[in-house]
Structure 1
């Protein structure tokens, strides 16, 4: 199985040193590199979450910039009717402090997740992810692939306007990887 990454804008709140929000949303269609559309089916992450696998929270998919992990319970993941929710207890490291500062300012681009498609349905130029093996979620600085989701950062109780971005460069890279 090939590991893929998918990034998109996200909803994010900060509470002290904790980030929470959605790492993926269900039934939100996005166009990947103008080559195909993709949606994530409700329940796509359920088997992966139930497996007890150690899933990481990273900054920009960089394994040297760990923000949390399920094994240590500093990353908590679950599915609800909207999508894949996350809570990360940020470490008191340079990366953790940087992520928190960027989130509070509304400067983050979105979330991403690393996965392998276990069950998918293709019809023409559309792909529906029905079940995935989830390896990691990442806070990304720029270029989300799912631009239609809401980006919000909440520092304590103040809501800051979020960013959305089409992320064409990331989409082109994802299209090349999927088509190879």
Structure 2
């Protein structure tokens, strides 16, 4: 069964761009996530997004775009066509048609000035694996449920504690005896008990 955790956020510190068409429509273009790159999450662990992590969620998720993850500051929506998301060899590509609102105009000016430093995405992990063979645990995220993307003024990694709880759960599961092994051990113990009884009371 897919492993599901609480919502997390990751930011990508990459310049976002904007372009305007002849009608004055302004579109923000950038990446909210990249695949295959190792990110150091607070010194606690390394994290890698695997190629294809967004494939399934982009088929069904009605994602919204916000400014600074504020749900009251909507910039676009996938079902409305004002937010377009695609997964390519680089990562999660984002296009947002900025609305003619105070937030939309503010975001345009902030990008022009270079004050906005990246994009971010909010997600729930549905499939992952941990590798602890090295000095620092490595988390590979194979599949996510995408909730939102944001243009952010201050990129951050939110959800470190959630990921660490996930790692602790994996460690506990590795240490716990497998049910099948427990059944085999129980059968062996029962057979040994029967053998001892036969040895004590031969026919």
- TM-score range (shorter-chain normalised) is 0.7 to 0.9
TM normalised by structure 2 equals: 0.72
For CA contacts below 8 A with separation 6 or more, give which structure has more relative contact order: 1
Take 1:34 and 1:8, find their aligned partners in 2: how far apart are those partners? 17
Q: Secondary structure at the match of 2:162?
A: helix
1:69-84 to 2 correspondence within 5 Å? 69-84=77-92
C-alpha RMSD of the superposition: 1.3
Q: 1:5 aligns with which of 9, 28, 39?
A: 9
Which residue in the other structure is 1:56 paired with? Answer: 64
Q: 2:141 aligns with which of 129, 132, 143?
A: 129
Preserved CA contact (<8 Å) 2:30 2:119: no
Take 2:29 and 2:78, find their aligned partners in 1: how far apart are those partners? 14
Preserved CA contact (<8 Å) 2:7 2:159: no
Preserved CA contact (<8 Å) 2:67 2:73: yes
* Higher percent of residues as helix: 2
Take 1:115 and 1:137, find their aligned partners in 2: how far apart are those partners? 9
Take 2:85 and 2:126, find their aligned partners in 1: how far apart are those partners? 19
Which residue in the other structure is 2:124 paired with? Answer: 116
Max Rg structure: 2
TM normalised by structure 1 equals: 0.80
Preserved CA contact (<8 Å) 1:4 1:116: yes
Which residue in the other structure is 1:65 paired with? Answer: 73
Take 2:163 and 2:152, find their aligned partners in 1: how far apart are those partners? 20
* Higher percent of residues as strand: 1
Take 1:110 and 1:177, find their aligned partners in 2: how far apart are those partners? 23
Post-superposition shift, 1:21? 1.4
* Unaligned residue ranges in structure 2 (runs of 5+): 21-25, 166-203
Post-superposition shift, 1:175? 1.9
Q: Secondary structure at the match of 1:43?
A: coil
Take 1:76 and 1:101, find their aligned partners in 2: how far apart are those partners? 21
**Deviant stretches of 4+, over 6 Å:** none
Take 2:160 and 2:34, find their aligned partners in 1: how far apart are those partners? 20
Q: Secondary structure at the match of 1:42?
A: coil
Q: 1:105 aligns with which of 102, 108, 113?
A: 113
